[in-house]
Amino acid sequence: MNSSAIRSANYTPLTPLSFLRRSGSVFPDRAAIIYGERRWTYAEFLDDAERMARGIRLAIAPGDRVAFIAPNIPELLIAHFAVALAGGVLVAINSRLSTPELRQILNHSGASLVFVDAELVPRLGDLNAASAVKTVVEVADAEFGVAASGLALGQIPLAEFVSRADTPDQRAIALGWEIDDELAPYSINYTSGTTGAPKGVMYSHRGAYLNAMGEIFHNGFDGASVYLWTLPLFHCNGWCTPWAVTGAGATHVCLRAVRGDRIWGAIEEYGVTNLCGSPTVCSVIANAPEARVLESGLRITTAGAPPSPTMIAELESLGVDVVHVYGLTEVYGPFTINEHQDRWDELGPEERAQLKARQGVAMIQAEAPRVVDEQMVDVPADGETLGEVILRGNNVMLGYFDDEAATAEAFRGGWYHSGDLGVMHPDGYIELKDRAKDIIISGGENISTIEVENAMLSHPAVLDAAVVSYPSERWGERPKAYVVVREGHAVTEAALLEHARDHIARFKVPDYVVFREDLPRTATGKVTKAVLRALDDIPVQPQP
């Protein structure tokens, strides 16, 4: 019997592209995207994705990386299908990064085509330093106040870029809705550089598809769902939710900026049923002047940092169902979920919130996590013994782009090593206790202390520097810096912070600087950051 015939009859490579293809066909008139005054049906969503894909196809070779730098606008959502449909690999980049940081990622990814929001064009700087970039497409946004693109010299307006390929000849060439290799890269997501340099995490078609299916199940998405985009689309491809919401035929509501009034306005106007975000977003929602007790259900999925039981209780008092998930960029975003147990309903709000703050168990598409010691032996499930959380399964990355050594290190022993320390509870739920790396999670964004330290150390007056976190009611954590000044030099706190802003994104800049004669170190020369974190030296009003 012909083996290829058997394969074609009982196997189709998995890809998130199938979600839009199906919804565009089955629900052509259903509301797909809402953004300000603009609206898309699913038929229009499908058509715009195909038109963007034709333009991309003319500008790249198969497998080329296509970068997109923008806030949560519809064009970035559409690109989550269009780039792969054109045979490219999507690189959605953090829109808050500085010019050097953007250039570093563009160079490492080798992106040949870049889409950039009109507001962010100046952030690109001189792209001659990004050797692989051949074409830059500017995306206008009336919500920002730019109704027509093409304002920056050398950038192609999106409308013009798309129209070049909108010809009978190009429309006659079939697009790549069906793929040959489900393990081919679909996207590359860059980490925050927790070891000093960001790594490109490769997602496959298969992994993205399966994670999206898990999101559909755990979020309860269906055709009546209305999803508000408070989670950055550039972060783990929005936790794979662009594909999940589309697969369910639900409605996307795009939001350019996360503000309490905008969120509550969207909840009121559109009947939002679901949103995702960090504990900071939860705080914005709970503490907004517009906050009120909801009559209809709202489900918030939160991650990025462990939400406090207090925050969970506050949102529950507003009628919000809070679901806590845990994951990393390397595992397509969410990997575990705090599954609610019926018996918890009999508990008081505080005790129930304590249980819901744990990181939980594997999502339906994932494999069970483990907590292990240094020999990769499982620690006792006693809720007390610390170990490293390790993960494996279909929702673990393909590896780091162009970094075999880092990939091998992350996958040692056949498991992905998260670098997170936690405990295993008797009921099989994991709970994080600390970070093995000195990463700072501020408003759901990861900040590498090494990266910030390097920015401070680049100032000629700085001899030594250490950056650690301190608690913040608004952001969860914020960085503070300890600096030793070179003998014979002088520098002010304001000057150092301004220097840092020139080298790293503003959200990574420390809130304040403490000058010291030396830094506490171990016998081997390592800074004892636990000592610095414990110091109560926060000024009354730290730097904004």
- Pick the more confident residue, 193 or 208: 208
Residue identified by tokens 């952030």 is 123
Whether the Cβ atoms of residue 169 and residue 70 lie closer than 8 Å to each other = no
Q: How confident is the model at residue 402 (pLDDT cuts 50, 70, 90)?
A: very high
Predicted local distance difference test score (pLDDT) of residue 305: 66
Min mean pLDDT across 222-226, 426-430, 439-443 is at 439-443
Q: How far out from the chain centre does Cα 215 lie?
A: 15
Task: Quickly list H helices, 379-448.
Answer: 404-410
Q: Whole-number mean pLDDT of the chain?
A: 89
Residue 487 has φ and ψ, to the nearest 5°, of: -60, 135
Q: How confident is the model over 481-504, as a mean pLDDT?
A: 93
Q: How confident is the model over 292-305, as a mean pLDDT?
A: 88
Q: How confident is the model over 244-265, as a mean pLDDT?
A: 95
Tokens of 60: 């790249």
Tell me the domains of the chain and their CATH numbers.
3-24+33-205 (3.40.50.12780), 310-435 (2.30.38.10), 440-534 (3.30.300.30)
Tokens of 40: 């898309």
Predicted local distance difference test score (pLDDT) of residue 1: 40
% of the chain exceeding 90 in pLDDT: 66
Q: How confident is the model at residue 196 (pLDDT cuts 50, 70, 90)?
A: low
Predicted local distance difference test score (pLDDT) of residue 524: 37
pLDDT tens digits for 321-359? 999 899 999 999 999 999 999 999 999 887 887 898 889
Is 388 in a helix, a strand, or coil?
Answer: strand
Confidence check: pLDDT of 141 > 50: yes
Residue identified by tokens 């929602």 is 285
Strand partners, 417: 390
Confidence check: pLDDT of 539 > 90: no
